[in-house]
Amino acid sequence: MRDLFGLQLLSAKDKAIAQLKRQHRCSVHGQKVWRSASLMLDYLNEYPLAAGLNILEIGAGWGLVGIYCAKHFNARVTALDVDPQVFPYLQLHAQLNQVTVAPLVADYQTLGAQQLAQFDLVLGSDICFWDQLAGPLTGLIQTAKGVGRRVIIADPGRPPFIEVIETLLAQDEHKALALENWSVPHPYNVNGLILDTGAPYVEL
């Protein structure tokens, strides 16, 4: 077990994780915690959220970002993922960290304005890893902004995510979003980008 920004995270060698991997084989890259989650956790540690928000984590995987928000900001968290096999890992870590996270099996590409309006904030980390995901993620961010909802996305800087950024900047004449280079040396040496629609500036 390791401590990750105040969260308890089981290692891949833990017996409980090994057992889950025998029983639940993830199909859409949900087999582990991706390092971009550290970028998001460090960003939220630097810029804390208001307490009690209703948060949607998309492409949640093991759900550490949502679990962090539930634990540190008393957030009501819904974790969305297209692969139901990730949720036993998520629930194990939610229990370990003594919080409750509601699972939702769905594709974030299907979310419309009415559904997004139910949440105060949408979070995602490393969810734009295929070229065909750039368009849907751009659409989701635009839809969320259209109903006045903040979106924060962390990414290692993959080409599809760069495409999302370029499209948003080209279409947003007010540049009402933040883009920051972010680095977290510990516990992983990881670098990437944070896109935050809740800040009125752009930093490249």
Report strand pairing: 54-58 vs 121-125: parallel
Q: Is the pTM of this model over 0.85?
A: yes
- Surface-to-core class of residue 28, CB atoms within 10 Å of its CB (0-12 exposed, 13-18 middle, 19+ buried): middle
Per-residue pLDDT 10s for the chain (204 aa) are 788 889 988 877 777 777 777 766 766 554 556 678 899 999 999 999 999 999 999 999 889 999 999 999 999 999 999 999 899 999 999 999 999 999 999 999 899 999 999 999 999 999 987 788 899 999 999 999 999 999 999 999 999 999 999 898 888 655 567 888 898 877 778 899 999 998 644 444
